[in-house]
Amino acid sequence: MVDETETIESLSFEDALRDLEGIVRRLESGDVPLEDSITLYEKGEKLRQHCQKRLDAAQARIERIVAGPDGAAAGTQPFDAER
């Protein structure tokens, strides 16, 4: 049997978000039995963590524009530099 965490880790951000949105819709519908709701909530939390991890990694790669003394763009540098 494949570990659910490994399966979630292999998902792209978009696929994980789509799965998470589906879980939220099911839980909000109120038509899911309690035990199934708990299981869905646990999976949803794993998907949320995976999405957050992907977002954090993407943010770390973003470059920000560096303004020169005159306010004009002088170049770029990694997002996390000079925090």
CATH of the domain at 20: 1.10.287
Is 70 exceeded by the pLDDT of residue 11? yes
Confidence bin at 30 (pLDDT 50/70/90): very high
**Residue 18 covered by a domain:** yes
Q: Are 74 and 68 in contact (CB under 8 A)?
A: yes
Average pLDDT of the chain, as a whole number: 83
Domain of residue 35, residue span: 4-78
Q: What is the pLDDT of residue 83?
A: 44
Number of domains in the chain: 1
Q: Is residue 21 part of a domain?
A: yes
Residue 15 domain-assigned? yes
Give yes or no for residue 7 having a pLDDT over 60.
yes
pLDDT of residue 49: 97
